[in-house]
Structure 1
Amino acid sequence: MARYIGPKSKIARRFREPIFGPDKVLDRKNYPPGQHGNARRRGKQSEYATQLLEKQKAKYTYGVLERQFANLFTKAASKEGITGEELLKLLEARLDNTVYRLGIAPTRSAARQLVGHKHVTVNGEVVNIPSYSLRPGDVVAVRERSKSLEAITNSVAGKQINKFSWLEWESKELSGKFLNLPSRDEIPENIKENLIVELYSK
């Protein structure tokens, strides 16, 4: 199962955002990594560099590698509507992202692991593909024999009231329903999707 396994704090420092979750390093070193990270960089970033950085941010945020991301963009471009927004909707509809949004796992990488280890069901059937694309009405739940897992109980215990309007959470059943694809203003990620579209349009 392909995934990014490199240093996460280094990536978070590059974007100056906690894209892998809360990171104490950002409080101490709020500047880019590397020998000259704390020095003022000369010149201005090129248009291409800005667009590429935005694409990389989206990839790392959702835990998607290059080929998968390119395939999702192609799929988004074929849909009616604004391509950038359609891309974010497809990313939000991924099973691992939804497990994370529901609070079953504290991070997307933890959600990806739970799915890969067959702890999650979709409409009653075990699905172990993190990139599985959910459809409106699909019910995502913790597998019956996995409900006592410490990682899941701890995450659910610290869960706040459901703050995502496109998801419906049933705490007693440890399940949630994917109601619909979210609109752009409902997605909280700080991503400038128009820059990604411009990059792929070159």
Structure 2
Amino acid sequence: MARYTGSVCRLCRREGAKLFLKGDRCYSQKCAFNKRPVPPGMHAQSRRKQSEYGIQLREKQKTRRIYGVLESQFRKYFEMAERMKGVTGENMLSLLERRLDNVVYRLGFADSRAQARQWVMHGHFTINGKKADIPSQLVEVDDVISIKDASKDMENFKALRENGSTSVPKWLDLDNANLAGKVLSLPQREDIDITIAEHLIVEFYSR
């Protein structure tokens, strides 16, 4: 299955919520969801009330689209979370947060997860001094995520070094001067500021 390449604004409208897939544009008046917050399609206003299965499916699709992962990947995260100690839904969100592309986004190195994924694949980052170009790589406690020296002069990264970032979650630490971030702890449910009803996803896969 190929990655979705259509308009990401349609995805927000389909899920009935802002998924913040286009970075700063999602916070501006240009956001398509602000102009037309209804599902795409000519019969959007006349759709029937969702079933319990439909509600669970939409929550799963919303979460999958927020983090930009394919269905097969998402299912693997659920299966990994099931084998871990603790609450399955919270474990799954913690795994998604630990993806390298998400960590790059959370540190403020990219405006969106899609941009972070692209920059990781282009080889702009290292983990503990070693090349890291796999977006799905999971970070561990005490890992240091840095921008390669050869990439630090890129305009986006230079602006970050000068202006800093104020939205870094507490499980991460950002060193603006050196353009590096450190994983202080594994993310807990209270550290994840996305509105997700993870129990619905667990119910969907447990059917």
Fold-level match, TM-score > 0.5? yes
Q: Indicate if the aligned counterparts of 2:89 and 2:198 stay in contact, CA closer than 8 A.
A: yes
Cα deviation 1:72-109 (Å, max 9, x = unaligned): 11100000000000000000000000000000000000
Distance verdict in 2 for CA 1:155–1:55, change over 3 Å: farther
Cα distance change on mapping 1:180 and 1:94 into 2, 3 Å: same
Instruction: Tell me the CA shift for residue 151 of structure 1.
Output: 3.3
For 1:32, give the aligned amino acid.
P
Structure 1 residue runs of 4 or more that deviate by more than 4 Å after TM superposition: 154-159
Alignment counterpart, residue 43 of structure 2, candidates 36, 52, 55: 36
- Residue pair 1:4, 1:63 contacting (<8 A) in 2 also: no
Partner letter of residue 30 of structure 1? P
Report the Cα distance in structure 1 between the residues aligned to 2:177 and 2:8, rounded to whole angstroms: 34
1:124 aligns with 2:129: yes
Deviates more, 1:147-156 or 1:107-116: 147-156
Kept after mapping to 1: 8 A contact 2:101/2:136:
yes
Structure 1 stretch displaced more, 156-165 or 135-144: 156-165
CA distance in 1, matches of 2:8, 2:159: 23
When normalised by structure 1's length, the TM-score is 0.93
- Give the Cα separation in 2 of the matches to 1:130 and 1:9: 22
**Structure 2 matches for 1:40-119, cutoff 5 A?**
40-42=46-48, 44-119=49-124
Pairing partner for 2:32 from 25, 33, 36: 25
Aligned length: 199
Q: Distance in 2 between matches of 1:104 and 1:3?
A: 23
Query: Could you say what secondary structure the match of 1:135 adopts?
Result: coil
Matches of 1:85 and 1:139, distance apart in 2? 24
Query: How far, CA to CA, are the matches of 2:186 and 2:76 in structure 1?
Result: 19
TM-score with structure 2 setting the length? 0.91
Determine which of 178, 200, 203 is the counterpart of 1:198. Answer: 203
Shift of 1:160: 3.4
- SS, match of residue 168 in structure 1: strand
Which segments of 5 or more consecutive residues in structure 1 lack a partner in the other structure? Answer: none
Relative to structure 1, the CA distance from residue 59 to residue 141 in structure 2 (aligned partners, 3 Å threshold; closer, same or farther) is: same
Contact map agreement 2:164 2:176 (CA 8 A) in 1: no
- How far 1:189 moved relative to its partner? 0.8
**Superposition deviation, residue 157 in structure 1:** 5.4
Q: What CA RMSD, in Å, does the superposition of the two structures yield over aligned residues? A: 1.6
Q: Distance in 2 between matches of 1:161 and 1:28?
A: 28
Q: Deviation at 1:6?
A: 2.2
For residues 28 and 125 of structure 1, the distance between their equivalents in structure 2, rounded to whole angstroms, comes to 44
CA-CA distance at 1:14 after TM superposition: 1.1
- Assess if the C-alpha contact under 8 Å between 1:139 and 1:177 holds in 2: yes
The change in CA–CA distance for 1:118 and 1:187 in structure 2 (over 3 A counts) is same
1:62 and 1:91 in contact (8 A); partners too: yes
Cα offset, 1:49, TM superposition: 0.6
Q: How far off its partner does 1:4 sit?
A: 2.8
* Residues 120, 140 of structure 1: 8 Å contact kept: yes
Distance 1:149 1:41, change over 3 A: same
